Amino acid sequence: MVLLLLCLAILFIFRDHPRMTTVQRGAVDVVAFTSNIVLAPFDAWDSLLDSVRSRTALQDEVLRLQQENRVLKGQAQRLASLLSENARYKALLNSARDIEDELIAAQISSVSPDPARHLVMLDKGAADGVEEGQPVLGAEGLIGQIVLVGEYNSRALLITDSAHALPVQVNRSGLRAIAEGSGDIDRLVIRHLAATTDIRAGDLLVTSGLGGRFPHGYPVARVTNVEIAAGDAFAVVSAAPASALDRGRHVLVVAQSSQFEGAIAP
């Protein structure tokens, strides 16, 4: 009975108490450590498969990566001049200068077993400069944010978790909206957009920078479907995350965003 009351008290009153958070942060490292041990045989198998890949396959990959690198370098050349041009214009307009965001490379080490949540474990923590509230980027766009930081590991909440929502902007028209997680790994939902709004399938959604959590301009999702039922005041817009959330292990944590020095942790 006492324990039951304790549970309910923790749940409803002391959920965000600093001491509870300390316990949870400590547990992040312990859980990550044990799950790494559990996963070690699987990782060993993967690296064994990697090590016996044929020479030609590796050569092909090197060639592909070199070509990709050349293309990206070519694009980066233009980027440098564009950035300086942009900086000059911004100086003319007297607005704050964009400094490049500082990125921490991390790997997704495991996924939370809770089927209702989209929580993943990252292998970088407070010791590497990760803090709560920092955005997490995948290969093609934003995938989530850090919610709980241990010393050497951290937990990130993906944007498709049904408790997650983020402010976005339609890249084409500049229209602002809130993209909510749907609980499905490949779908975000935008509700409460007037049925007459200019939004189409194929539109790119980028972070709008409102709210002070996510820096402006990272791609988030692409609109897949706009549903307007006759007589409804609002359209229901579905979007697919730009980065495949259930594939790929390498992510980037935006450690220092110049745009929001005073961003508040959750």
Partner 1 sequence: MTRAQAVWVIYASLAGALLFTLLPLPMDWRGLRPDVAALALFYWVLALPHRVGVATAFTVGVAQDLIEGAPLGLSSPGLMLATLLLLFNYQRIRQFDLLQQSLAILVLMLISSGIEQWLRNGIAVPAAPWAGVAGIICSVLCWVPIRTILRHSRRYYEVY
CB 143 within 8 A of CB 137: yes
Binding to partner 1 (CB under 8 A) within 135-154 occurs at 147-148
Q: Considering the complex, what minimum distance in angstroms separates the CB of residue 202 from partner 1?
A: 25
Cα dist. 130→24, 51, 215, 253, 259 in Å? Answer: 16, 32, 16, 7, 17
Query: Is 161 near partner 1 (CB under 8 A)?
Result: yes
Query: What angle is formed at CA 103 by the lines to CA 99 and CA 104, rounded to 5 degrees?
Result: 155
Q: Considering the complex, what minimum distance in angstroms separates the CB of residue 159 from partner 1?
A: 13
Query: Is 34 near partner 1 (CB under 8 A)?
Result: yes
Closer residue to partner 1, CB minimum distance, 12 or 202: 12
Q: Which stretch binds partner 1 (CB under 8 A): 45-53, 58-66, 67-75, 113-121?
A: 113-121
Query: Is 162 near partner 1 (CB under 8 A)?
Result: yes
Task: Please give the size of the binding site for partner 1, defined by CB under 8 A.
Answer: 41
Query: Is 112 near partner 1 (CB under 8 A)?
Result: yes
Query: Is 38 near partner 1 (CB under 8 A)?
Result: yes
Cα separation, 122 vs 109, whole angstroms: 6
CB 195 within 8 A of CB 220: no
Query: Is 165 near partner 1 (CB under 8 A)?
Result: no
> Could you say which of 42, 51, 174, 262 contacts partner 1 (CB under 8 A)?
42
Q: Which residues of the shown chain bind partner 1 in the complex (CB under 8 A)?
A: 3-4, 6-8, 10-12, 15, 20, 23-24, 27-28, 30-31, 34-35, 38-39, 42, 110-119, 147-148, 155, 161-163, 183, 185, 245-246
